């Protein structure tokens, strides 16, 4: 049996094509965004992709007269994980950024893959915050909301990076748990356990340096829901996560009610090519996923609609990966075909006294209507309901007026960002992921 209204906390997986955009709602005042893929074509009613930035502007809590996002987490700097960041930064006050060391390693490496304009905007904003933090600490203070940053991971050449002398409270490493988001301690209702990136992978391909974590959301009744996020990690790095946690008796941090399929349902998570070029199934990772799945677990692929047949060399999603996921989970959901392929609905995962589950159909519609009424009568309202109401409303919001940020570097990369995000039509050429 489901509750009459939406739970107070949960996560929304937005239909954004093949890319990641996950909104985690901790409570009324604290929302975390993990990655962003906001294409310009989402502004047109003719396209099914959702304009995530506009939805967040509508749904986030208002603090000091502007929309407030507690934390933005960038798993890695690929275009399909950060498109629209500069736009978000201009329209929303982001309390805290979580970044990984790879951003600076690539900046210092002339042979590293070129960063897209939004990734550059993220790096520039990160460096601004590092300077503000360093200045505040030097006089015995601390940065305030809007200036905070946390670097997650350890790089072997960290001494050459801008963040090197940050105090430890602004750093995090694999094997640690975080409960504070932009100064808000939500211990007991929120926990992010960091799995990766690993120190030994500092110089690996960009995808293999993805920030990976388990997010646990706990209802006041004590019921919890666990979400596993692996970014664009492939088989070997994910198996390292499972082996490390199992060896250290930390299996509780491997459990999941919802798994976001790594790398947009890529076959490289569970297949490797042998010497003859044949795809060989790696059963060990499917077994690891399955033994850590909780009752009623679901897998979400944040991707385009699954193909009818795989074509060698094509980008994810891959049908052979989707088929394997369907064998180990109670339900496999593709964000771009959820409910209606022509007008996909965001996938809404909720946690309350009734359990952790994907909220669907009539309950979602009814709860969104109730949320709209409640929010119209309250200056605060329930944040998860607000986000969900924005998710359910498939009509595109009017574009918010951008507010220039003197520190963001947005103006310097505006033209490049517009080019990266594309026009209102689908791109003529396929996008290469992880290159």
pLDDT digits (tens, 9 = 90+) for 295-313: 999 999 999 999 999 998 9
Beta carbons of 196 and 45 less than 8 angstroms apart: no
Instruction: Report pLDDT digits (tens) over 138-170.
Output: 999 999 999 999 999 988 777 777 788 899 999
- DSSP assignment, residue 19? S
Among 241-245, 408-412, 428-432, the range of highest mean pLDDT: 241-245
**Mean pLDDT, rounded, for 351-362:** 86
Structure tokens at 215: 């997010």
Domain ranges of the chain: 9-421
Window from 14-18, 311-315, 370-374 with minimum mean pLDDT: 370-374
Is residue 413 pLDDT above 80, yes or no?
A: no
Q: How confident is the model at residue 365 (pLDDT cuts 50, 70, 90)?
A: low
- CA 322 to CA 334: how far, in whole Å? 9
Least confident of 26-35, 93-102, 340-349, 358-367: 358-367
Q: Could you tell me if 158 and 199 are in contact, meaning their C-beta atoms sit under 8 angstroms apart?
A: no
**Cα separation, 257 vs 277, whole angstroms:** 35
Q: What is the pLDDT of residue 402?
A: 28
Top-confidence residue, 159 or 62? 62
Q: Among 197-211, 267-281, 318-332, where is mean pLDDT lowest? A: 197-211
Model pLDDT for residues 171-214, shown as the tens digit of each residue: 999 999 999 999 999 999 999 999 999 989 988 889 899 999 99
- 255 vs 45, higher pLDDT: 255
Q: How high is the mean pLDDT of the chain? A: 86
Please give the Cα distance from 33 to 71 (Å, whole number). 6
* pLDDT above 70 as % of the chain: 83
pLDDT-based confidence at residue 418 (cuts at 50, 70, 90): low
Domain 9-421: give its CATH architecture: 4-Layer Sandwich (3.60)
Query: Contact at 8 Å (CB) between 267 and 246?
Result: no
């Amino acid at each position: 049996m489901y509750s009459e209204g939406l739970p107070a906390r949960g996560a929304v997986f937005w239909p954004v094509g093949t890319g990641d955009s996950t909104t985690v709602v901790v409570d009324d005042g604290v929302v975390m965004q993990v990655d962003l893929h906001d294409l310009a074509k989402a502004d047109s009613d003719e396209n099914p992709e959702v304009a995530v930035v506009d939805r967040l502007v509508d749904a986030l809590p208002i603090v000091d007269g502007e929309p407030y996002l507690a934390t933005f987490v960038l798993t890695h700097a690929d275009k399909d994980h950060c498109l629209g960041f500069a736009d978000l930064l201009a329209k929303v006050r982001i309390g805290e950024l979580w970044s990984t060391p790879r951003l600076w390693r690539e900046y210092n490496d002339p042979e590293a893959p070129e960063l897209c304009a939004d990734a550059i905007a993220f790096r520039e904003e990160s460096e601004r915050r590092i300077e503000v933090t360093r200045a505040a600490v030097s006089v015995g203070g601390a940065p305030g909301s809007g200036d905070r940053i946390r670097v997650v991971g350890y790089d072997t050449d960290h001494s050459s990076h801008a963040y090197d002398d940050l105090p430890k409270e602004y750093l995090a490493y694999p094997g640690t748990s975080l409960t504070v988001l932009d100064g808000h301690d939500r211990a007991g209702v929120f926990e992010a356990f960091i799995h990766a990136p690993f120190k030994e992978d500092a110089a690996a391909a960009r995808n293999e340096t993805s920030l990976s974590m388990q997010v646990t959301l706990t209802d006041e009744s004590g019921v919890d829901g666990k979400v596993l996020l692996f970014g664009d990690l492939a088989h070997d790095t994910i198996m390292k996560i499972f082996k490390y946690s199992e060896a250290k008796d930390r299996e509780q941090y491997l459990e999941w009610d919802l798994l976001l399929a790594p790398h947009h349902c890529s076959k490289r998570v569970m297949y490797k090519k042998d010497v003859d070029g044949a795809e060989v199934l790696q059963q060990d990772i499917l077994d690891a996923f399955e033994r850590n799945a909780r009752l009623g677990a679901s897998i979400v692929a944040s991707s385009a609609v699954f193909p009818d047949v795989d074509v060698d060399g094509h980008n994810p999603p891959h049908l052979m990966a989707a088929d394997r996921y369907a064998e180990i989970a109670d339900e496999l959901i593709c964000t771009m075909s959820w409910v209606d392929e022509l007008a996909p609905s965001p996938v809404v995962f909720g946690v309350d006294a009734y359990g952790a589950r994907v909220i669907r159909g009539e309950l979602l519609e009814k709860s969104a209507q109730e949320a709209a009424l409640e929010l119209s009568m309250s200056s605060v309202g329930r944040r998860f309901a607000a986000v969900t109401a924005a998710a359910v409303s498939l009509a595109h919001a009017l574009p918010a007026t951008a507010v220039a940020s003197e520190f963001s570097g947005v103006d310097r990369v505006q033209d490049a960002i517009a080019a990266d995000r594309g026009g209102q039509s689908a791109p003529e050429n396929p996008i290469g992921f992880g290159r």
